[in-house]
Amino acid sequence: MKIEGFIWYVDVADKLESKHSVTINEVESLFSRKPVFRMIEKGRIKDENLYRALGQSYAGRYLAVFFIYKTTKEALVISARDMSDRERRIYAKRKK
């Protein structure tokens, strides 16, 4: 999957920072570091599905990012938070 850009809603970006202490820069850096992708569910619009990306930010923080992959090859970020223990195991296993 190739992400060529990001779509950010102000409300989502604010929530990520206040609730999870995750910045826009951290999320975007994760995508340049070869995250592990998984489709979560099919979207209502053809070829615009919900995905989860597991990876590390530029600072080494382990994050789970949920986004809609748009037909324009952009990621509409819905949520981002620290990985759970289970997600860390999945990430470690798939990165080998």
Give the rounded percent of residues in the chain with a pLDDT score beyond 70.
Answer: 100
What is residue 47's predicted lDDT score, i.e. its pLDDT? 77
Residue ranges of domains in the chain? 5-95
**Spatial CB neighbours of 95, under 8 Å, sequence gap ≥ 6:** 36
Tokens read off for 4: 């060529």
Q: What is the CATH number of domain 5-95?
A: 3.10.450.530
Tokens read off for 9: 């809603």
pLDDT range class, residue 69, cuts 50, 70, 90:
very high
Q: Which uninterrupted H or E stretch holds 41?
A: strand 36-41
Q: Which uninterrupted H or E stretch holds 30?
A: helix 24-31
- CB 21: neighbour CB atoms within 10 A? 11
- Quick: pLDDT tens for 27-57: 999 999 889 999 998 878 787 899 999 999 9
The average pLDDT across 67-95 equals 93
DSSP state of 94: H
What is residue 71's predicted lDDT score, i.e. its pLDDT? 85
